[in-house]
Amino acid sequence: MTSTPPPSNLDPAVAARLKRSADGLVPAIAQQYDTGEVLMLGWMDDEALHRTLTTGRCTYWSRSRQEYWVKGDTSGHFQHVKSVALDCDADTLLVKVDQVGAACHTGDRTCFDAGELTVSTAGA
Amino acid sequence: MTSTPPPSNLDPAVAARLKRSADGLVPAIAQQYDTGEVLMLGWMDDEALHRTLTTGRCTYWSRSRQEYWVKGDTSGHFQHVKSVALDCDADTLLVKVDQVGAACHTGDRTCFDAGELTVSTAGA
């Protein structure tokens, strides 16, 4: 974990609390605010969190493209931000959103719809 | 990302799909299966996932203690596993559980209860 915040417009009081991964990111869980569906997990750096808190649209850092990514900018499937909470360890974000259309790039409502694994417990 | 699975008892077909962080871990979101509450985020390596899938109790890898951690073993606040899903990128797990008592070590029901950040959007 690194505790050195990168340059950003994030409120310094929030930046001081964040515990980032070695690459300066924090996982952000996106949840549909009314149904409770867990939609996806993305990653935010300080600036992405700042934009999420101040623009009303969920903004991630794309690790594959190495750029900011306003969810919906290309697909129209925006995530309108309802609330953001930091967890007890200050290393994970929970973002409650109103998801337009599908959250998943496959067209599924959530990124977890197609990935069920087999749970096999003998009398547990 | 590393794609080399560590030695574990995990089903090789599942292990072959997993995309792990540089330290061999995958974030696992724990969600209360009936209410939809997002309880916490933990980390699993292949063996922790195997144990989660086969023992009925959610098992994480503790990054701070560097050991397996059956949630509830010390607190009694077990997470009984209902279902496990891998996301579309195979780099995040969603574990639906029946949480006994508080999920958070602070005594809060979820790890996000006390960490609300201020969302300030001007007409967004």
Q: How far is B55 from chain A (nearest CA, A)?
A: 5
Q: In 3D, which of B111, B23, B28 has the Cα closest to residue A93?
A: B111
pLDDT at B4: 63
The answer to whether position A113 is within a domain reads: no
pLDDT at A121: 77
How high is the mean pLDDT in each 10-residue block of chain A (124 residues)?
71 96 95 98 98 97 95 95 98 98 96 96 58
Statement: the pTM of the whole predicted model exceeds 0.90: yes
Query: Which structural domain range is residue B42 located in?
Result: 24-99
Taking one residue from A and the other from B, the number of pairs with CB-CB distance under 8 angstroms is: 126
- The CATH number of whichever domain residue A46 belongs to comes to 3.10.20.810
Chain B CB contacts of A27 under 8 Å are 27, 41
Q: Which of B34, B35, B38, B83 to mutate to test the interface with A (most CBs of A within 10 A)?
A: B38
The answer to whether position A82 is within a domain reads: yes
pLDDT at A6: 67
pLDDT at A7: 82
> Low-confidence residues of chain B, pLDDT below 70?
1-6, 122-124
The answer to whether position A117 is within a domain reads: no
Query: How much is the ipTM here?
Result: 0.93
The answer to whether position A110 is within a domain reads: no
Domain count, chain B: 1
pLDDT at B7: 82
